[in-house]
Amino acid sequence: MQRASHRGRREFLGLTFATTAAMIVDSSRGTAQSAPLHAKPVPSSGEMLPVIGLGSWITFNVGNDPAARDDCADVMRSFFDAGGRLIDSSPMYGSSQAVIGYGLAKLRRRTAVFSADKVWISVGARGRDQVEQSRQYWGVRRFDLVQVHNLLAWQEHLPTLFAMKNAGQLRYVGVTTSEGRRHRDVERVMGQQPIDFVQITYNIVDREVEARILPLARERGIGVIVNRPFREGALIRAMARHPLPGFAGEIGCVNWAQFILKFIVSHPAVTCAIPATTSVVHVRENMEAAHGRLPDESMRRRMVAHVEAL
């Protein structure tokens, strides 16, 4: 049954990827946000997702610090106000799940969020309990997406997650990796398992996934979530030593963060990127990248050439 549905969504993708989808969410703030917010379809369902999400690695792991928790809630408020939906976390991220749950409760946004979490435990039999524990931290009725974190015990976890999906206990299933690790295994899972999403690292200087994983995602109808778009800020810091090229204005970029994010989400296979931040200013800047013109293939080549020449 899973194979059949997989074939079906591939056919669906032939139609949905043929067009660039966009929807207007909130255009009340900022010049760039007067343009529609770019969204892309989840390949397996057609559900539209804004191309910029929100990561929580390190940034939301603030423990029981009440002031820092409120700061994180402010970041989430700005994210939602700008039309954002997908927030990603993991049991590996310390208190991040609980902090997201705090923010969702404070902002009353439990139904607005597209909740993406992970299962991260080496004992497959305990995966279901961990997902339930995570769900309670978030305070959501069910997760939209649960991914196998860094492919840990994926052979055991995926059957559990598919069963939970079939039972309506979650909506999508995925796997993750980061910083170029285990790409052969990722390809194997993508080729053999009916997953909805794959999460990988991709940015303007880490483009290994362009060769095989991103084309495979398109072929198999798998959504792509991009983590560590800024190399945990190192890429922004490195770029900040140089002026933004003049041609960045042609695609509506006013800073390097938008330059980098627009490059990522303009790849046809990418569904969304999930930059993490503790700054309200930065989350607004990031969300601006979901507006205005996205680079075409010619512009993408120009962007790469410029960055490689720096």
Binding mask 241-270 for other proteins (x = CB under 8 A): ------------------------------
- Radius of gyration in angstroms for the set of CA atoms belonging to the chain, rounded to a whole number: 18
Q: Does 207 bind other proteins (CB under 8 A)?
A: no
Q: In what order do the strands lie in the sheet with 170-176?
A: 86-88, 114-119, 143-148, 170-176, 197-201, 223-227, 272-273
Select from 21, 92, 205, 304 the one that contacts other proteins (CB under 8 A): 92
Cα separation, 49 vs 87, in Å, equals 11
Select from 278, 280, 302, 306 the one that contacts other proteins (CB under 8 A): 278
Nearer to other proteins, 59 or 78 (CB): 59
Nearer to other proteins, 115 or 177 (CB): 177
Cα separation, 288 vs 285, in Å, equals 5
Q: Does 188 bind other proteins (CB under 8 A)?
A: no
Amino acid code (one letter) for 132: E
CB 264 within 8 A of CB 229: yes
Select from 30, 36, 94, 124 the one that contacts other proteins (CB under 8 A): 94
CB of 175 to other proteins, least distance (A): 13
Q: Does 65 bind other proteins (CB under 8 A)?
A: yes
Q: Does 34 bind other proteins (CB under 8 A)?
A: no
Select from 56, 59, 97, 160 the one that contacts other proteins (CB under 8 A): 59
- How far does CA 247 lie from the centroid of its chain? 27
The residues in 39-58 that bind other proteins, with binding defined as CB under 8 A, are: 58
Nearer to other proteins, 179 or 250 (CB): 179
Nearer to other proteins, 154 or 263 (CB): 154
CB of 94 to other proteins, least distance (A): 5
Q: Does 179 bind other proteins (CB under 8 A)?
A: yes
CB of 152 to other proteins, least distance (A): 8
Q: Does 124 bind other proteins (CB under 8 A)?
A: no
CB of 150 to other proteins, least distance (A): 7
Q: Does 182 bind other proteins (CB under 8 A)?
A: yes
CB 99 within 8 A of CB 62: yes
CB of 157 to other proteins, least distance (A): 15
Q: Give the DSSP per-residue string, 125-153.
A: GGHHHHHHHHHHHHT-SSEEEEEEGGGTT
Q: Does 64 bind other proteins (CB under 8 A)?
A: yes
Q: Does 238 bind other proteins (CB under 8 A)?
A: no
CB of 63 to other proteins, least distance (A): 3
CB of 16 to other proteins, least distance (A): 34
The residues binding other proteins (CB under 8 A) are 58-59, 61-65, 68, 92-95, 150-151, 179-182, 232, 278
